[in-house]
Amino acid sequence: MKMNDKEIAEQKENKEYQQKFKETGFIEKKKITNLDLIYSFIIGVLGGIISSLIPFSLLIKVWFPFTGGTQLVSGHHVIWASIVYGLTKKKQNVFFTMISKGLLEFLLGDQLGLLIIFVNFMEAFFLVIGFLIMEKVGEGETKLGWGIAGGFGNIFQAPFIWIIKQRWFLHWSLWALAFIFAFLSGIFIVGLLGRTIKNELIKAGVPITFQIEV
């Protein structure tokens, strides 16, 4: 039987899709699998070590002199959660990742002490809220959706930490710039970079734990 143009185009699209995303690993819609937990804890621990020990802020201090400028790279604290979410599509895993990351940061002597675990929980909470809102408005898988969700996940830690550190005496424009930078960092690092890394990992054959809807 001869295929029409539409069927040929569909077949071609399916082939391209399969090449792009290999369906691998455990496919589970609701339940948490061992692979979910392994991803969450390994990537959380990795994030905790990297976030604590690598001074990313030096990348900013060289060319942006004002206090709060380091918020431009603050997204590296949350990107781990967005990668795990991309691989598993389960929002609980965002919490597992961030809490294990917070625990590591605490054990590595973070200045905020036990509060750093709460800060990580808060970041996870707002990232999940961001993804939920984006899914509701039909932007759950787009760059825009991931960007805004990432920005939402990263912005609230900045005022929280500045309030905890009682930085009332700093000029309001520095506060405003810090929060805008935190949001932008969330968009670019947590959202867009996280999405790109997730896509590349899936293309490379890293097992996913969710059902691809074709």
Partner 1 sequence: MKTRNFYILISSIIVGMVIFWLFLYAIVELDADLFQDPNSVTIRGSGLNREITLTITQLKSDKYDQVIDKTYHFMDFFETEYDIIYSGVSLWSILEEENLIYGEISILKFEFWGRDLYHSPKALNLSIVKDHPELVIIAYEENGAPLFGDGPLRSVLDQSILPDGEYGSQYSVQMLSEIIIK
- The one-letter amino acid at 176: A
* Of 88, 171, 192, 81, nearest in space to 127 by CA: 81
| Gap between the Cα atoms of 132 and 152, Å rounded | 11
Closest separation in Å from C-beta 195 to partner 1? 15
Task: Output 39 or 183, the one with its CB closest to partner 1.
Answer: 183
Closest separation in Å from C-beta 183 to partner 1? 8
Closest separation in Å from C-beta 65 to partner 1? 6
| Gap between the Cα atoms of 27 and 164, Å rounded | 42
Residues 180-199 that bind partner 1 (CB under 8 A): 180, 184
* Of 209, 172, 173, nearest in space to 39 by CA: 209
Task: Output 12 or 171, the one with its CB closest to partner 1.
Answer: 171
Closest separation in Å from C-beta 97 to partner 1? 26
- Angstrom CA distances, 201 to 97, 158, 196, stand at 17, 30, 9
Neighbouring residues of 184: CB distance < 8 A, sequence distance ≥ 6:
72, 151
DSSP states of 149-192: HHHHHHHTHHHHHHHHTT-TTS-HHHHHHHHHHHHHHIIIIIII
Helix (H) or strand (E) holding 125: helix 115-136
Q: Which residue stretch of 28-36, 44-52, 79-87, 106-114 sits at the interface with partner 1 (rule: CB under 8 A)?
A: 106-114
| Gap between the Cα atoms of 121 and 118, Å rounded | 5
Instruction: Give the x/- contact pattern for partner 1 in 51-70, rule: CB under 8 A.
Output: ----x--x--x---xxx-x-
Decide: is 128 part of the binding site for partner 1 (CB under 8 A). Answer: no
Q: Which residue stretch of 8-16, 30-38, 44-52, 165-173 sits at the interface with partner 1 (rule: CB under 8 A)?
A: 165-173
Closest separation in Å from C-beta 179 to partner 1? 10
Task: Output 66 or 210, the one with its CB closest to partner 1.
Answer: 66
Give me the residues that bind partner 1 (CB under 8 A), please. Answer: 55, 58, 61, 65-67, 69, 111-113, 144, 164-166, 168-171, 173-174, 176-177, 180, 184
